[in-house]
Structure 1
Amino acid sequence: MELKSTNPHLRMTVRFLEKAHRQYNAALWATVAELLSRPRRSRVIVNVGELNRLLNDGDIAVVPGKVLGDGELSKKVTVAAWSFSKTAVDKIKAAGGEAITIPELVRRMPKPSGVKLIT
């Protein structure tokens, strides 16, 4: 797939996800790479309040876009995303959860069974 972004970090992340897809035969990583390859205005934007509604305690989720801090989070979850607002990171940590990068999630869980895709 052709990524038109000039952001070298984004290009590296997409290539990393495509390689992980091929290496571990994990379709989720190919889907996340495709969603990150979209134009910025088409990427996913999720608030922590929405994560609170969609996830259960102990869930692991990947957001191929940005997580914003609107709403409250009362569940201990691990969230991997392309980017986080400072407020979102603070609220995730305050709930006992973890905010990590997508490559970090791939390193921890190369075969993403049980990881929820938030779109």
Structure 2
Amino acid sequence: MSRLRKTNIVLRKAIEELKKQASINNASIWSSIAEELSKPTRRRRAVNISRINRYSKPGDVVVVPGKVLGAGNIDHPVTVAAFGFSRTALEKIVKSGGRAIFILDLVKENPTGSNIKIIG
């Protein structure tokens, strides 16, 4: 039986780049995020804004290896990096003064992966 591959080319490229940056920068956080993104779609994480609000402080950098959903509220500015965002989640993050970025953009900003929280 042949092994199934991810059909989403953006996801495949993101996983490859995360693994590459993990080995170049000796940052195991990127390899663990790549492993989470490699899981089947049903097992991938989906995190609500309320959970990010609960487990983060103002100015934190949070990574969600999956999708951020818009249920709940956020009352402080946080930088959230994820593979996908719902429209309402994106609006709420920006409204609170935070930033919503793609995971690979965070890798470019912080290649060593220091001071990052994984929520999921």
TM-score class normalised by the smaller sequence: over 0.9
Give 1:13's aligned amino acid: A
Q: Which residue of 2 aligns with 1:107?
A: 108
Instruction: Kindly report which structure 2 residues correspond to 1:1-119, keeping only aligned pairs within 5 A, or say none.
Output: 4-119=5-120
Contact 1:68–1:85 (8 Å) recurs in 2: yes
Aligned residues: 118
Alpha-carbon offset, residue 78 of structure 1: 0.1
Look up the SS of the partner of 1:79 in the other structure: strand
Give 2:65's aligned amino acid: P
Give 1:64's aligned amino acid: P
Contact 1:62–1:115 (8 Å) recurs in 2: yes
The share of aligned pairs that are identical, in percent, is 46
Mind listing any 5+ residue stretches in structure 2 that lack a counterpart?
A: none
Measured on the aligned residues, the alpha-carbon RMSD in Å equals: 1.0
| Aligned-partner Cα distance in 1 for 2:52–2:117 | 11
Contact 1:3–1:37 (8 Å) recurs in 2: no
TM-score, with normalisation over the residues of structure 1? 0.97
| Aligned-partner Cα distance in 1 for 2:5–2:38 | 8
Give the 3 Å change call, closer, same or farther, for CA 3–94 of structure 1 in structure 2: farther
Mind listing any 5+ residue stretches in structure 1 that lack a counterpart?
A: none
Contact 1:3–1:11 (8 Å) recurs in 2: no
